């Protein structure tokens, strides 16, 4: 398929809520394949359609080998555990910087597959963190918004300095 250009922070499209997918067609399959190729090239373990400038609720995750790639269409969190964890996060839209974010340890998500079939998935640990991170992105919440203002300001300065040195 195609490696697409990734939208970079602070592009305002990263803070816009994505629209639900209504057409489960070849165009959606091509978008999912492009997302996978773009994520692998970044490199990353998760990507959303908004990361490539497409305001649709589509997520691709690949936490392990090539066979583990999974596409989630119109995902949403149905339940989250009270137990929390801290996890280091970053973004393909803000490469080179990371910080710790507090997330639910376990979640249950509802989503549709590429054929439009409704599914439910239980996740914990890294997979749960990834679901929360990417669903936030689909809702227009860039991961840095989960940091305190002080941490966010420091992270943005680090990112800007990195960009100047490229």
Please work out, in degrees rounded to the nearest 5, the angle formed at the alpha carbon of residue 90 by the alpha carbons of 89 and 96.
135
Helix (H, G, I), strand (E, B) or coil at 125: coil
Q: Which two tokens stand for residue 31?
A: 């978008």
To which H or E segment does residue 135 belong?
Answer: helix 126-138
Q: How far from chain centre, in Å, is Cα 11?
A: 15
Q: Annotated catalytic, 100?
A: no
Q: How far from chain centre, in Å, is Cα 100?
A: 16
To which H or E segment does residue 163 belong?
Answer: helix 149-165
Alpha-carbon span 29 to 162, nearest angstrom: 35
Among candidate residues 67, 89, 134, 160, the one labeled active-site is 134
Residues with active-site annotation:
134
């Amino acid at each position: 398929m195609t490696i697409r250009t990734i939208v970079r922070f602070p592009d305002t499209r990263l803070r816009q809520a994505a629209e639900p997918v209504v057409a489960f067609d070849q165009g959606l399959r091509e978008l999912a394949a492009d997302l996978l190729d773009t994520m692998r090239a970044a490199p990353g373990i998760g990507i959303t359609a908004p990361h490539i400038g497409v305001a649709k609720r589509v997520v691709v995750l690949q936490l392990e080998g090539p066979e583990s790639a999974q596409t989630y269409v119109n995902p949403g969190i149905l339940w989250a555990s009270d137990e929390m964890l801290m996890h280091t996060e970053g973004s393909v839209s803000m490469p080179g910087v990371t910080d710790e974010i507090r997330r639910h340890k376990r979640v249950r998500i509802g989503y549709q597959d590429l054929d439009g079939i409704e599914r439910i998935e239980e996740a914990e640990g890294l997979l749960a963190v990834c679901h929360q991170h990417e669903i936030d992105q689909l809702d227009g919440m860039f991961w840095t918004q989960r940091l305190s203002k002080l941490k966010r300001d420091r992270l943005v300065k680090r990112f800007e300095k990195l960009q100047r040195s490229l």
